[in-house]
Amino acid sequence: MALLMRRDPWRVLNQLHHNIDEVFKHNPSSVATNNINSEWVPTVDITEENDKYVLHADIPGVDPKNIDLTIEQGYLTIKGHREKRTSEDKAGYHKTECAYGSFVRRFKLPESVESDSVSAKGEHGVLEIVIPKTQKAEPRKIQVSH
């Protein structure tokens, strides 16, 4: 016995639309606000350790004085600017692959971080941001009085 199925030419497009809606609904900070007004976007690695989160951003050629880190309303924002290198165009050949200009990266922080103790350092073109976790509250027994 043959089974007939109705062909829906819009099924794939509807599924894609649904998937995009889910991304924005569950984590809007990672997509919608990540590169607002950015001319380029540095790559970032984030690791979680027992007592902290460590973020490494590749920003070669960016002067530390051109980096602005802020924590506001549960978001870590990294802004910066890489100056364009000037070079002489000797034989009419010119090629630029390195991005330059302004960049912005924004990350939603978990509630379990100590935003007052965040530290950052730059070395060899890598920005390292250390975000300590808060101490977990130990469960305690509460006596009920009569």
pLDDT score of 28: 42
* Per-residue tens of pLDDT for the chain, all 146 residues: 566 666 777 777 777 777 777 666 654 444 444 445 678 889 999 999 999 999 999 999 888 888 999 999 889 999 999 887 776 666 666 777 778 889 999 999 988 899 899 999 998 899 999 999 998 777 888 889 88
Length in residues, the chain: 146
pLDDT at 16: 76
Task: Determine whether domain 34-84+101-135 maps to CATH 1.10.10.60.
Answer: no
* Residue 83, both tokens: 């100056």
Burial grade of 59 (CB within 10 A; 0-12, 13-18, 19 or more): buried
pTM here?
0.65
58 closest CA partner among 117, 104, 122, 114 = 122
- Cα separation, 18 vs 109, in Å, equals 26
Report domain extents, the chain: 34-84+101-135
Check if the beta carbon of residue 67 is closer than 8 Å to that of residue 128: no
Measured CA to CA, the distance from residue 94 to residue 87 in angstroms comes to 9
At 58 the pLDDT is 94
CA 48 and chain centroid, separation: 14
**Sign of the torsion angle spanned by Cα atoms 133, 135, 141, 142:** negative
